[in-house]
Structure 1
Amino acid sequence: MTLEVIVQNGEEAKQAEKLGADRVELVSAIAEGGLTPSYGTIQQVLEHVTIPVQVMIRPHSFHFCYSKGDLDIIWKDIEALIDMGGERIVFGALNRDSTINETALEAIITRFPQLDITFHKAFDEVPSLKDAYQTLAKYKKNIKRILTSGGKKDCMAGMKHLQMLAEMEKDIGGPRIMPGGGLDAATIADIHHKLAAEQYHFGKAVRVNESFSNNFDSETMLHIKNVIRN
């Protein structure tokens, strides 16, 4: 089972690895839902940990419908990441009707075929989770996982949809469903019992006082690891 946690810099990444995180998602501007980190921060994290680092590629927090100018920034950020030795990104793009922007995905994958991609929670804004999953399954060679709360505000509220997506994952063999959003020490046992997902994504719930301004809570991390690995 994989435990992924959000980090904001090298020190947090080192602490997360020490406490048993299997993978980190590196972001900046967490108050805005997570944006692309600075190049210096990316380099620092890549140099400080041995576990996989998924880097958020998101130029702004206004929406997920990107202009040509936005995409130019995205290309340059990915190029810089690859130049630093990284090849894992967290990315999502939608059309104006909130369906998956396949044009953007295909352009990224064609240009950077080595990428390991997490499609982020833009997925939860699509009109049909089923259709969106089938679309992303076409790119499963690069899109390895989908971060989702089942189209709802948190995983408990989206449980039925998460179960449906988990079944699609098994049937189609597409991207892994990675529950994230509202997960905490109190709910993870019930969620894991119902979903038996292979990976989970945690944010502030694994921090002291559930605040990104604080360090990781070692007891909470241990509890979550014990739940998902047993």
Structure 2
Amino acid sequence: MLIEVIVQTKEEAVEAEKLGVDRLELVSAISEGGLTPSYGTIKQVLRSVSIPVQIMIRTHSYHFEYTKSELETMYEDIRNVIELGGKGIVFGALHQDKSINIEAIQHIIGIYEQIDITFHRAFDEALSQKEAYHSLIPFKKNVRRVLTSGGKENCEEGKATLKKLVHLSQEYGGPSIMPGAGLSSVNLKHIHEFVGAEQYHFGKAVRRGQSFANGFDRTVIEKIRNQLTNK
């Protein structure tokens, strides 16, 4: 089982690695849902940890339907990530009809054919999570996981869809399903037993006082690890 957590700085990244976290999602402006970190922050984090780092590529938090100019900015940010030695990004884009923007994914793969993409929770705004998932299967070499709450506000509400998505992933060998949003050491066990995913994404629930202003709570992370190990 794999645990991914959100980090915003070099210090948080180093702390998370020491606590045994498996992968990091690096963002800025977490109060806006996570935007692209600065060049300097990306550089510091990549030089400071050995575990995988998925770097958020997102210009604003208003919606997931980007203009040509906004996409060009994100493509340039991706080039910067690659230049700094990064291999993984977190990205998601939709068309106005709420279908997946496949053209953007194709363009990104053209920038770096080995890029590791987490398709983020733009996925949850698609009209049909099943159709959205099928549209990503042809790109499974690069779109390796989908961060989703099953189209609902949190994983508790979306667990029925999450379970179906995990089955789709197993049936088609497509991108892995990574539940995220509202997960904690309190509800993880029963959600995991119901959904059966192999990786989970955590935000403020693994922080002291459940606040991004604080560092990680070692006890909570250990509890989560034990719950996933002792299913």
Query: Normalising to structure 2: TM-score of the pair?
Result: 0.98
Match of 2:61 in 1: 61
Match of 1:51 in 2: 51
* d(CA) in 2 for partners of 1:14, 1:72: 31
Match of 1:215 in 2: 215
* d(CA) in 2 for partners of 1:175, 1:43: 28
Cα shift at 1:105: 0.9
Equivalence map 1:137-152=2 (5 Å): 137-152=137-152
Q: CA RMSD in A?
A: 0.6
> Equivalent residue of 1:138, what SS?
helix
* d(CA) in 2 for partners of 1:132, 1:179: 16
* d(CA) in 1 for partners of 2:47, 2:227: 30
Give the letter aligned to residue 181 of structure 1: A
Q: Cα deviation per residue 1:96-128 (whole Å; 9 max; x = unaligned)?
A: 111100111111112221100000000000000
Cα shift at 1:196: 2.1
Match of 2:161 in 1: 161
Match of 2:34 in 1: 34
Are positions 1:93 and 2:67 aligned together?
no
- Identity among equivalent positions (%) equals 55
Structure 1 gap ranges (5+): none
Give the letter aligned to residue 61 of structure 2: S
Give the letter aligned to residue 13 of structure 2: A
Q: Cα deviation per residue 1:23-54 (whole Å; 9 max; x = unaligned)?
A: 00000000000000000000110011110000
Preserved CA contact (<8 Å) 2:146 2:175: yes
Match of 2:203 in 1: 203
Preserved CA contact (<8 Å) 2:160 2:195: no
Cα shift at 1:193: 0.9
> Equivalent residue of 2:85, what SS?
coil
Cα shift at 1:11: 0.3
* d(CA) in 1 for partners of 2:196, 2:103: 33
* d(CA) in 2 for partners of 1:102, 1:149: 21
Cα shift at 1:71: 1.1
* d(CA) in 1 for partners of 2:124, 2:74: 21
Preserved CA contact (<8 Å) 2:79 2:111: no
Q: Cα deviation per residue 1:143-164 (whole Å; 9 max; x = unaligned)?
A: 0000000000110100110011
Match of 2:15 in 1: 15
* d(CA) in 1 for partners of 2:46, 2:133: 30
More moved, 48-57 vs 106-115 = 106-115
- Which 4+ runs in 1 deviate beyond 2 A? none
* d(CA) in 2 for partners of 1:81, 1:170: 31
> Equivalent residue of 2:139, what SS?
coil
Match of 1:79 in 2: 79
Give the letter aligned to residue 26 of structure 1: L
Q: Cα deviation per residue 1:153-210 (whole Å; 9 max; x = unaligned)?
A: 1101001100110110111110000000000010001011112211000000000010
Preserved CA contact (<8 Å) 2:100 2:132: yes
Give the letter aligned to residue 141 of structure 1: K
Equivalence map 1:154-193=2 (5 Å): 154-193=154-193
Equivalence map 1:94-113=2 (5 Å): 94-113=94-113
Query: Normalising to structure 1: TM-score of the pair?
Result: 0.99
Cα shift at 1:62: 1.1
* d(CA) in 2 for partners of 1:21, 1:56: 18
* d(CA) in 1 for partners of 2:58, 2:28: 10
Report the number of matched residues: 230
* d(CA) in 2 for partners of 1:127, 1:182: 21
* d(CA) in 1 for partners of 2:218, 2:73: 37
